[in-house]
Structure 1
Amino acid sequence: MSKRFPLPVDAILPELLHALEQQPNVVLEAAPGAGKTTRVPAALLHAVSGDVLVLEPRRIAARFAARRVAEEMGEQVGETVGYQVRFEERVSAKTRLRFVTEGILNRRLLSDPELRGVDVVVLDEFHERHLETDLALALLKRLQQRRPSLRIVVMSATLDAAPVATFLDDCVVLRSEGRAYPLEIEFGGYTSKPLETQLRDAVERLAKEDREGNILVFLPGQAEIRRAMRECEDVARRYALTSLALHGSLTPAEQDRVVAPSRERKVIFATNVAESSVTVDGVNAVIDSGLARVASYSPWTGLPQLRIARVSKASAIQRAGRAGRQQAGRALRLYVQEDFALRAEHETPEILRADLSQLLLSLRAMGVERPSELQWLDEPPADAVNAAEALLDALGAHGKLAERMARLPLSPRLARVVLAAEDRGIADLGCRAAALLGAGIPLQQNDLLQAMDAHAGKQMDARVRQQYEHLCRAMKRAPATYVHHDEALLLSLLTGFPDRVGKRRIGKQIGLANGVAAELAGEHPQGEFFLALDAEDRAEQALPLVRTYARIEPEMLLEVFPERVIEQSVVEWNRNGERAEKVSTLLFDKLVIEETRGPASAEDAARLLAEKALQEGIERFVDAEALANLRERVAFAGFEALDEAAALRELAYGLKSFAQLRDAAKASLLHVLEAQVDARKLSELAPTSIRLSSGRQTKVHYEHDRAPWIGSRLQDFFGMKETPRIGPARTPVVVHLLAPNQRAVQTTTDLAGFWERLYPTTRKELMRRYPRHAWPENPHAPVEAKR
């Protein structure tokens, strides 16, 4: 048995156990280094007769915690204390305390909805708020209503306890302080240096100022870790530092080497897997970039997003706390104090930003059709729920199939691929493909089939092999020799990625079946149709990136999804030829598989030609003044408005192009429009001209928002006693009386009043200016018509 040092949380264990005797739930806030992850589960194990499950947000934490508790009990892992994580487990019939990742618990609830034999479930590091943590909490609360004896303990170092305690109802909140080792925190200044250069300077400074202790560096992801390690090679060599990486994609053996005690002085470049639960031995200094890679999901594109973002205050506190767990330490934050002050208190829970298809699949497998049937600490967003449900429906994830998919330690897409492969008699190839796509390792080949060839036999990556063998066990099959069945495998992949069917556009650009455009990574691939198997929506780039793809044939779409392939015919406008064409397309969702063009029918061509003519403006096809006059005559006569579209369709019938329509419209459009009304009645109510007493015909002008008017020489009106009247209401026209110079000397609607009141004065003026013209005293005397 290893030496069991006292830890701060030991002091609160009696109070915690007593609280659980009185209440079903406890929320424990314990500072970093207090020992909650190892001491609380061990104390619970000795206080209850049944089993204890501890949910850890990370596999590395579950493994190390189980080992530490087993060591303190003087046992090997897998005896009383064990762990179960994705693709790995160390348990036996004797195991009563299990450290598991959240997904393990959710899959166990499928086969054992009552969690028989389990007395307590502990949710550790709850502040990380992984998606499956929220699901586990919701399921446990529902189970507790059926099993009041079940106890729930929620633990964290940086948790806002009030919301969780309120959610759990009968709940006690306890607090434990950590060991009070001095921790010096220093902030950086404003700089334009690249991140890796800042890290190199910080590592050199710490190595120079303190010759003992390990240095833990927090970085966003593996790419940044690789760059930083290269940048720090010279510093590490000069100060005899061993550079190591720590992230979730490492094998267990590689992770063990990082955290194990060693005489070597180490500088450990880690992602946020090292933030909590795991004590890295000998660390007395932390360098914090203040950044992390945050996974989210876009319901609009249907693609995951991975971006670098600033960590919250809670995360920054956790990181700094790594330096003060075993001794006095210091933390260098590579950002200014004002930046820290403006950061969010806590990280945004995954349930508010992640793809929810895995969560909904688990619920469907348990017979819960809608998330609203459960109580949630944070309600899942409606858009994300709708997108996830649409994907699961496309995968056919209902009933027994949903149960089969949920039992596999895979995403819904990959689970569907494996089951489809099994149905096609190639289960081994399905497991291989799923292991390669799900391992999270960078592939040298962008084409999946080429990548599978590269990872065949002894060439298979250790992490891929581990997942492949675990999947084979889950499928109750032995690993087999790699054999090509490309078509069957591609059909199986298509079953799991129906919305990721893509067709080449230009260069590396493809259009996906969901309407999104994307770009293929790597060399220009051959082929026209692809499956986008590993794709990411890059917020900082114009198009999402497809890292891994598989070439498919369009005939496969008909074989796997015949109901989603539809034929559609539309009439489109050919801009180059300015004509209507019939376009027949074979569609898979929003993706055009095949397209043919031909002449449109006479009816369709006429309709589209008329639409385009109206868009361009009908005035361009006819005398604009004549058309306006006709419109106003029709309106003045009280008729319904002209149906110009119908007139254009009538003219366009049998025509093929815009040019033909222009010629026809210029020649006949006004006649076609006039034919829509009673021509005799129109001429009677809104005549185009009026005969004056002089015998002269004068045009009647019709203008919008103005009364009809006529204009002619004053002499032409001699002999007319009354103003001419037209229209249904016998409206007097406006008369423009013109002098010989064709300028109006008077405008009136009362011709009789003009003769009586104004004509004598006007006559004198006109006689003076135009003495050669006749200006009789009596304007009512008839005059001879002028030739």
Structure 2
Amino acid sequence: MSTPHFPISALLPQVKDSLDQHPRLVLEAPPGAGKTTQVPLALLHAPWLAGQKIILLEPRRVAARSAAQFMARQLGEEVGDTVGYRIRFENKVSARTRVEVVTEGILTRMLQDDPMLEGIGAIVFDEFHERHLSGDLGLALALDVQAQLRDDLRLVVMSATLDGERLARFLDAPRLSSEGRSFPVEVSHFPARRDEALDLQVRRAVQQALATHPGDVLVFLPGQREIQRVLAGLQDTVDAATEVLPLHGELPVEQQGRVLQPAADGRRRVVLATNVAESSVTLPGVRVVIDSGLAREPQYDPNSGFTRLDVVAVAQASADQRAGRAGRVAAGWAWRLWPQSQRLEPQRRAEIEQVELTGLALELAAWGSSDLRFVDAPPAGPLAAARELLQRLGALSPTHAITAQGRRMLAIGTHPRLAAMLLAATAGTEQALATDVAALLEARDPLRQGGDALAPRWRALAAFRSGRAPHEANRSGLAAIDAAARQWRRRLRCDAAPPSSIEAHQLGDLLAHAFPDRIAFRHPNDPLRYLLANGRSARLHELSDLRGEPWLVASELRFEARDGLLLRASPVDEQYLRRVFASRFVSEDIVRWDAERRALVALRESRFERMVFDSRSAGRVDPAQAAAALTEAVAELGLQALPWTDGLRQWQARVEGLRRWMPELGLPDVSDAALLATRAAWLQPAFAGRTRLDALDEASFGEALKTPLDWSQRQLVDRHAPIRISVPSGLERGISYRLDSESGEPLPPILAVKLQELFGLADTPRIADNRVALTLHLLSPGGRPLQVTQDLRNFWANTYAEVKKEMKGRYPRHPWPDDPWTATATHRAKPRGT
């Protein structure tokens, strides 16, 4: 075995010792340290492995192949012996394989197919800082396996640029760090000229780098399209002594291998790469890095309902990692093609926070538990939306359990929308057409100006196959779509050829299975407006090719505040919908509140899911349905539409006050929000037999309002929050209870009373088991406010004398004793002549 020295080599004994003692490890090592290839080989003979396999997870296919080939060469073997790899559509493993390099989707399938992971002793997650959704899911599933089934399973999480301390805390794992092997890199910003396109700026930078610096040049570009554009421009401008090579995940294996090896004839090279060259693969001889600062990363596109690759600015950590590629063999230079003033995000955001989660929700359902430990938990809103969609697609039951249909969809290995459509297509030509539609939906628009109908895109594809693609079509785009459709047919074992022509509704009939929530019916009063199955509405633009179609299925839809915009759609046959989705068509008599007429109306409605496509009068209102409809009208109009009295509002405030002051009483919540939320329980019975909102009188409403409290609880309210209280004058005075209008919180209760009625009372009266002091509004004999206080003792001692001096002359017939502590309380004036 050949054992070249890597910076990670000195740390390998600690790695082995740590995993002897602890089942998890976080390993930080910069690019070039050798972690990807040296850690798995170092663990092969660990006693705890006991001859089992090591699974090395690589985010990208290029890196997976490269790592397996390097380790195999190091062992003096062929790939597929001790070290092999498995990626999509490619398998290089054998019964002898002990280190298996896999991509993220493969790991998820391994875990789902065999949760015990028989014969596997360790999983190594490489380049975890890329935070792909599949990687996060794979780690969550592996942690669950380790906790529930396999406490002997070892998990190693490796990263070049990650918050290792946070990850180590999350995993409750030791953390080790390795030095990298790098030379100084001089970083500068290569300016663009005014209105200069990216490919022209890259071409200038490459020419200048070749002229001024030694070594090979590595250029980071967002994707294949940009690589091809730059490649075409450079082939005519660089001399024959320089070789220009592309590097991306879709290249044939032989071409990838050629880029990853030194040039056989010693020529200088310019490598045009996506972010596959950012980590895990080593390009020999690179001294200059030219970084566009861009990458194609998954972003959720709400228009299409899919996650698509969009060009975005890289994170600062990625930019630093790219620059480091120039310092692998000697001092180097990194030129950045963005302004120095532009600030990048520090770290790459986890995909789980920004992509569509339907696939994740289906995986969790197949696992049988969503109670998994994620580094970053799936956002609740998108996850709930994903589950709702999966129910529409037939993949989940109402309890979110996976169905037989869901398992079939999962086995296809694509987005659940597309999987549902592909499964719905019968064998033969229809299935071949479905593969065309899947390829079209996943691709960028092949037409430069093609309107909003999907059919012209398919016709352009059919014409391309016959050698007569329309002039407004992108031929390379159509070629890619055709290749993708062929790949789909191979995966589905579909031997039929795609049709050369189709009926008007065939595309829409297929799309209905992928987008049941976007089946749309034309509004009866507006030919451009459509009602959607999900309860929303959308519009066609004025010059739409689809104008006049009664039923559509939208494959792309821009959601807006009121009506969305139908960006791409196809006509669908109503009879087909009624046959295939029969259970979703419902006709029933309902009673609904008409806000304009402020009355109930009886209607006979025909619906497809939440879309009402026909509504007509059904005559008189059925009293049995009226109570529920009136209750819902209150939800729309607000509680203020009910016959509140001051006494009922006081009662509400008393109950809410005691909930705060004496929580041990266990009184129910009667706040406005709670009353609205529970309206069906307490309000709907009060509307029984009534067909008008104003038929509910104050007495009936008051009794309904109090139904959440039983008899004993009502007695507690009267005892601890009385509506009246005896004062020293011998009379009873009312207590006023209030809730804050903004927060709904109880305010201190008020006792408004004439000052003379409290003579002889030393302390402020209290309620709620003596816990709450009343706020005293002390009144003059004429009923005007003199003082507001919650401290009567302090008032007598410090303020009364001033009040007496001012009031005695104004109200001479009323008592103003010098000593209020001992004076007799009264509500009357002094008798005449006294």
Question: Using the alignment, how far apart are the partners of 1:181 and 1:521 within structure 2?
Answer: 61
Q: Secondary structure at the match of 2:174?
A: strand
After TM superposition, the score normalised by the length of structure 2 is: 0.61
Residue 588 to residue 98, structure 1, CA distance change in 2 (3 Å):
same
Question: Using the alignment, how far apart are the partners of 1:358 and 1:599 within structure 2?
Answer: 43
Assess if the C-alpha contact under 8 Å between 1:86 and 1:409 holds in 2.
no
Superposed CA RMSD in Å reads 4.4
Residue 443 to residue 286, structure 1, CA distance change in 2 (3 Å):
same
Counterpart for residue 132 of structure 2: 130
Question: Using the alignment, how far apart are the partners of 1:519 and 1:330 within structure 2?
Answer: 52
Counterpart for residue 407 of structure 2: 403
Q: Secondary structure at the match of 1:140?
A: helix
Query: Which amino acid counterpart does residue 462 of structure 2 have in structure 1?
Result: D
Counterpart for residue 379 of structure 1: 377
Assess if the C-alpha contact under 8 Å between 1:364 and 1:399 holds in 2.
no
Q: Secondary structure at the match of 1:236?
A: coil
Question: Using the alignment, how far apart are the partners of 1:270 and 1:507 within structure 2?
Answer: 49
Question: Using the alignment, how far apart are the partners of 1:238 and 1:510 within structure 2?
Answer: 59
Question: Using the alignment, how far apart are the partners of 1:429 and 1:158 within structure 2?
Answer: 44
Task: Write the deviation string for residues 572-609 of structure 1: whole angstroms up to 9, x where unpaired.
Answer: 99x9xxxxx999875544657x668x9997999xxxxx
Displacement after TM superposition at 1:396 (Å): 1.0
Query: Where in structure 1 are there 5+ consecutive unaligned residues?
Result: 576-580, 605-644, 648-787
The number of aligned residues is 587
Displacement after TM superposition at 1:351 (Å): 1.0
Question: Using the alignment, how far apart are the partners of 2:54 and 2:566 within structure 1?
Answer: 44
Q: Secondary structure at the match of 2:169?
A: helix
Displacement after TM superposition at 1:98 (Å): 1.5
Residue 27 to residue 425, structure 1, CA distance change in 2 (3 Å):
same
Assess if the C-alpha contact under 8 Å between 2:23 and 2:154 holds in 1.
yes
Residue 410 to residue 27, structure 1, CA distance change in 2 (3 Å):
same
Counterpart for residue 581 of structure 2: 561
1:50-61 to structure 2, matched below 5 A, reads: 50-61=52-63
1:15-414 to structure 2, matched below 5 A, reads: 15-47=14-46, 48=49, 49-145=51-147, 146-169=149-172, 171-188=173-190, 192-196=194-198, 197-210=200-213, 212-219=215-222, 221-229=223-231, 232-233=233-234, 236-237=237-238, 241-252=242-253, 255-256=256-257, 258-262=259-263, 263=265, 264-297=267-300, 302=305, 304=307, 307-340=310-343, 343-368=344-369, 371=370, 373-397=371-395, 398-414=402-418
Displacement after TM superposition at 1:292 (Å): 2.9
Residue 470 to residue 226, structure 1, CA distance change in 2 (3 Å):
closer
Query: Which amino acid counterpart does residue 499 of structure 1 have in structure 2?
Result: D
1:275-674 to structure 2, matched below 5 A, reads: 275-297=278-300, 302=305, 304=307, 307-340=310-343, 343-368=344-369, 371=370, 373-397=371-395, 398-421=402-425, 428-429=431-432, 432-433=435-436, 436-437=439-440, 440=443, 443=446, 446-447=454-455, 449-450=458-459, 453=462, 477=493, 479-482=495-498, 491-502=509-520, 513-514=533-534, 515=536, 517=538, 524=545, 528=549, 529-533=551-555, 535=556, 546=567, 550-566=570-586, 587-589=607-609
Assess if the C-alpha contact under 8 Å between 1:110 and 1:407 holds in 2.
no
Residue 195 to residue 139, structure 1, CA distance change in 2 (3 Å):
same
Aligned-residue sequence identity (percent) comes to 39
Displacement after TM superposition at 1:133 (Å): 1.0
Displacement after TM superposition at 1:139 (Å): 0.8
Query: Which amino acid counterpart does residue 32 of structure 2 have in structure 1?
Result: G
Question: Using the alignment, how far apart are the partners of 1:601 and 1:363 within structure 2?
Answer: 49
Displacement after TM superposition at 1:503 (Å): 6.1
Displacement after TM superposition at 1:318 (Å): 1.5
Query: Which amino acid counterpart does residue 110 of structure 1 have in structure 2?
Result: Q
Assess if the C-alpha contact under 8 Å between 1:517 and 1:544 holds in 2.
yes
Question: Using the alignment, how far apart are the partners of 2:115 and 2:201 within structure 1?
Answer: 51
Task: Write the deviation string for residues 243-271 of structure 1: whole angstroms up to 9, x where unpaired.
Answer: 44444454545544554543554433333
Displacement after TM superposition at 1:331 (Å): 0.7
Displacement after TM superposition at 1:525 (Å): 6.1
Assess if the C-alpha contact under 8 Å between 1:512 and 1:518 holds in 2.
no
Task: Write the deviation string for residues 315-353 of structure 1: whole angstroms up to 9, x where unpaired.
Answer: 11121122223443211112344534xx33211111111
Residue 530 to residue 274, structure 1, CA distance change in 2 (3 Å):
farther
Displacement after TM superposition at 1:105 (Å): 1.2
Q: Secondary structure at the match of 2:425?
A: helix
Residue 438 to residue 151, structure 1, CA distance change in 2 (3 Å):
farther
Q: Secondary structure at the match of 2:272?
A: strand
Counterpart for residue 735 of structure 1: none
Q: Secondary structure at the match of 1:17?
A: helix
Displacement after TM superposition at 1:79 (Å): 2.8
Displacement after TM superposition at 1:297 (Å): 2.6
Task: Write the deviation string for residues 417-470 of structure 1: whole angstroms up to 9, x where unpaired.
Answer: 222225x67785277347625765764585364366357699998877876677
Residue 462 to residue 284, structure 1, CA distance change in 2 (3 Å):
farther
Displacement after TM superposition at 1:83 (Å): 1.7
Residue 167 to residue 449, structure 1, CA distance change in 2 (3 Å):
same
Question: Using the alignment, how far apart are the partners of 2:315 and 2:591 within structure 1?
Answer: 53
Counterpart for residue 764 of structure 1: none
Question: Using the alignment, how far apart are the partners of 1:567 and 1:310 within structure 2?
Answer: 51
Query: Which amino acid counterpart does residue 279 of structure 2 have in structure 1?
Result: S
Assess if the C-alpha contact under 8 Å between 2:84 and 2:92 holds in 1.
yes
Q: Secondary structure at the match of 2:76?
A: coil
Assess if the C-alpha contact under 8 Å between 2:302 and 2:557 holds in 1.
no
Residue 201 to residue 478, structure 1, CA distance change in 2 (3 Å):
closer
Question: Using the alignment, how far apart are the partners of 1:527 and 1:40 within structure 2?
Answer: 64
Residue 39 to residue 346, structure 1, CA distance change in 2 (3 Å):
same
Bigger radius of gyration among the two: 1
Structure ranking higher on relative contact order (CA contacts 8 Å, 6+ apart): 1
Query: Which amino acid counterpart does residue 181 of structure 1 have in structure 2?
Result: F
Query: Which amino acid counterpart does residue 351 of structure 1 have in structure 2?
Result: I
Task: Write the deviation string for residues 121-158 of structure 1: whole angstroms up to 9, x where unpaired.
Answer: 01110001111111111111111112111000111111
Displacement after TM superposition at 1:194 (Å): 3.3
Assess if the C-alpha contact under 8 Å between 2:303 and 2:557 holds in 1.
no
After TM superposition, the score normalised by the length of structure 1 is: 0.64
Of 273-282 and 449-458, the range deviating more from structure 2: 449-458
Question: Using the alignment, how far apart are the partners of 1:522 and 1:19 within structure 2?
Answer: 67
Question: Using the alignment, how far apart are the partners of 2:542 and 2:115 within structure 1?
Answer: 44
Question: Using the alignment, how far apart are the partners of 2:268 and 2:544 within structure 1?
Answer: 43
Q: Secondary structure at the match of 1:287?
A: strand
Counterpart for residue 623 of structure 1: none
Question: Using the alignment, how far apart are the partners of 1:22 and 1:470 within structure 2?
Answer: 47
Query: Which amino acid counterpart does residue 332 of structure 2 have in structure 1?
Result: G
Q: Secondary structure at the match of 1:339?
A: coil
Displacement after TM superposition at 1:185 (Å): 1.3
Question: Using the alignment, how far apart are the partners of 2:181 and 2:435 within structure 1?
Answer: 47
Residue 525 to residue 200, structure 1, CA distance change in 2 (3 Å):
farther
Query: Which amino acid counterpart does residue 37 of structure 1 have in structure 2?
Result: T
Assess if the C-alpha contact under 8 Å between 1:216 and 1:283 holds in 2.
no
Question: Using the alignment, how far apart are the partners of 2:532 and 2:225 within structure 1?
Answer: 28
Q: Secondary structure at the match of 1:194?
A: coil
Task: Write the deviation string for residues 475-504 of structure 1: whole angstroms up to 9, x where unpaired.
Answer: 5x4644445787777544422221233568
Residue 248 to residue 410, structure 1, CA distance change in 2 (3 Å):
same
Query: Which amino acid counterpart does residue 14 of structure 2 have in structure 1?
Result: E
Displacement after TM superposition at 1:44 (Å): 2.4
Question: Using the alignment, how far apart are the partners of 1:110 and 1:367 within structure 2?
Answer: 10
Counterpart for residue 717 of structure 1: none
Assess if the C-alpha contact under 8 Å between 1:216 and 1:268 holds in 2.
yes
Displacement after TM superposition at 1:362 (Å): 0.8
